[in-house]
Amino acid sequence: MSMQALVKKFVLYYDPDFAGGEERVQLVKGMDFFTEENGFSVYDIDDVGNMRYDATLNIGPLKVWRVI
């Protein structure tokens, strides 16, 4: 198995209430997106890091789904 296959991947669903006000979906590879600079609390980052495959988590109007 390659190292790339071990990287966590997430699908983000932005509700229209999220900053920017547009509904959209984004694929994120790894944990680099989930930082305090991007508006996530230390607790949010920890919760995302501990997500199991196929789990979902709501952070305000943002829905995070772990797909790998």
pLDDT tier, 60 (very low <50, low <70, confident <90, very high otherwise) = confident
| Cα separations in angstroms, 6 against 34, 46, 50, 62 | 17, 18, 14, 24
Domain ranges, residue 41:
3-66
Q: Average the pLDDT over 30-50 and give the result.
A: 97
pLDDT at res. 20: 64
pLDDT for residue 15 = 79
pTM over 0.95: no
Tell me phi and psi for residue 60, to 5 degrees: 60, -135
Count structural domains, the chain: 1
Beta bridge partners, 62, equal 14, 59
